[in-house]
Amino acid sequence: MPKPIYSLSFLNFLLIISLFGCNSISKENNELKEYDMGNPEVFEMPEILKEISGITFNKGRDDSVYAIQDEDGKLFRLGWQNQKTQHVKFGGKGDYEDLAIFNDQIVILKSNGDLYSFPFADVRFENINKVNEWKNILPKGEYEGLYVDQDSGEIFVLCKSCSQDNAEKKVSGYILKMADGMKRTGSFEINVEKVKAVTNKVKKAFKPSALAKNPVTDDWFILSGFNKILIVADKNWNPKQAYPLRSNNFNQPEGIAFDKSGNLYISNEGDETLDGNILKINRLVK
């Protein structure tokens, strides 16, 4: 009597397929349980910051946010509770992508990998007389993400698209330090196959836009506007969680930062119909 046996095998096959399907769907619906991602506080940007890119805080203080945009060499300072904007000019026209503040210095990343720094005290002026500039420290490529660890002083720079990488398999990053100049001291990489294991949003290449370390958990939060995804990785860069960034809140995510309480901030470029903005996403677990 083989018929019942074949029927049972067929049912088992359907059960296995359904389980794989559920796992695939669960990756898409993954939530960041520590954060209220669906209800951000919206801080609209003035017209001059429609193309906002990187954002950062000074020592994690959330009273003022510092930002750049990817056309003009200007650093902007904004009060979180008002629209008043101040800026200082540090360079000419260019594609500036990210910034950080460390040890009373501001460090700025250009998309070609060039780096700039100047004293934080100079933000109160309209122009800066002397800006340090470092070229050819990083391999040729396109870079958008920069982060400075406040404890170690290490500067982390992440490739978006670099010639030495196959973006379907790995993304390279570099570690630098400012000591008698800017020096490259190490490297790291993100395994794209491990990224694909936690999300269905990355089909081929993974192209990061920004990165920041959560001061509460020490996890890395890696943003990709290209893939419309936020990846959470452990201290060894192993992806462990993903959150899809839906367009109704995240128009064009470009920058990411944390305040000292662990609240998350993501900047979005505007377009023909929308202003640029910064979204504050409150940390639910205190």
**Are residues 206 and 194 in contact, defined by beta-carbon separation less than 8 angstroms?**
no
Q: What is the DSSP string of 187-254?
A: EEEEEHHHHHTT-SS-SS-----EEEE-TTT--EEEEETTTTEEEEE-TT--EEEEEE--TTT-SSEE
Rounded to an integer, the average pLDDT of 214-242 is 96
Nearest residue to 266 (alpha-carbon basis) of 275, 252, 255:
255
CATH code for position 104: 2.120.10.30
Q: Does residue 22 sit within a domain?
A: no
Q: Is the pLDDT of residue 22 over 80?
A: no
At 286 the pLDDT is: 64
Q: Does residue 5 sit within a domain?
A: no
Q: Is the pLDDT of residue 125 over 50?
A: yes
At 30 the pLDDT is: 55
Q: Does residue 23 sit within a domain?
A: no
Q: Where residue 127 falls among pLDDT bands split at 50, 70, 90? A: confident
Rounded to an integer, the average pLDDT of 196-221 is 95
Instruction: Lowest mean pLDDT of 82-86, 141-145, 155-159, 197-201, name the range.
Output: 82-86
Q: Does residue 2 sit within a domain?
A: no
Rounded to an integer, the average pLDDT of 19-35 is 55
Q: What is the pLDDT of residues 274-285, one digit of tens each?
A: 899 999 999 997
Q: Where residue 247 falls among pLDDT bands split at 50, 70, 90? A: confident
Could you give phi then psi for residue 275, rounded to 5 degrees? -80, 160
At 80 the pLDDT is: 76
Q: Does residue 149 sit within a domain?
A: yes
DSSP assigned state of 59:
T
Q: Which domain holds residue 56?
A: 31-281
Q: Is the pLDDT of residue 123 over 60?
A: yes
How many domains would you assign to the chain? 1
Q: Does residue 164 sit within a domain?
A: yes
- CB proximity list for 142: less than 8 A, separation 6 or greater: 111, 112, 159, 160, 161, 162
Q: Identify which has the larger pLDDT, 255 or 163.
A: 255
CA dist 274 and 173 (Å) reads 32
Q: What is the pLDDT of residues 65-118, one digit of tens each?
A: 999 998 889 999 998 776 678 899 999 999 999 999 998 999 999 999 999 999
At 194 the pLDDT is: 96
What element of type H or E holds 277?
A: strand 277-281
At 129 the pLDDT is: 82
Any idea what the Cα angle at residue 140 is, between residues 255 and 222, rounded to 5°?
A: 25
**Are residues 263 and 62 in contact, defined by beta-carbon separation less than 8 angstroms?**
yes
Q: Where residue 181 falls among pLDDT bands split at 50, 70, 90? A: confident
Q: Does residue 24 sit within a domain?
A: no
Q: Does residue 3 sit within a domain?
A: no
**Are residues 270 and 262 in contact, defined by beta-carbon separation less than 8 angstroms?**
no
CA dist 116 and 132 (Å) reads 5
DSSP E strands, 45-164: 52-58, 61-69, 73-79, 85-91, 96-102, 105-110, 115-119, 132-134, 141-148, 155-162
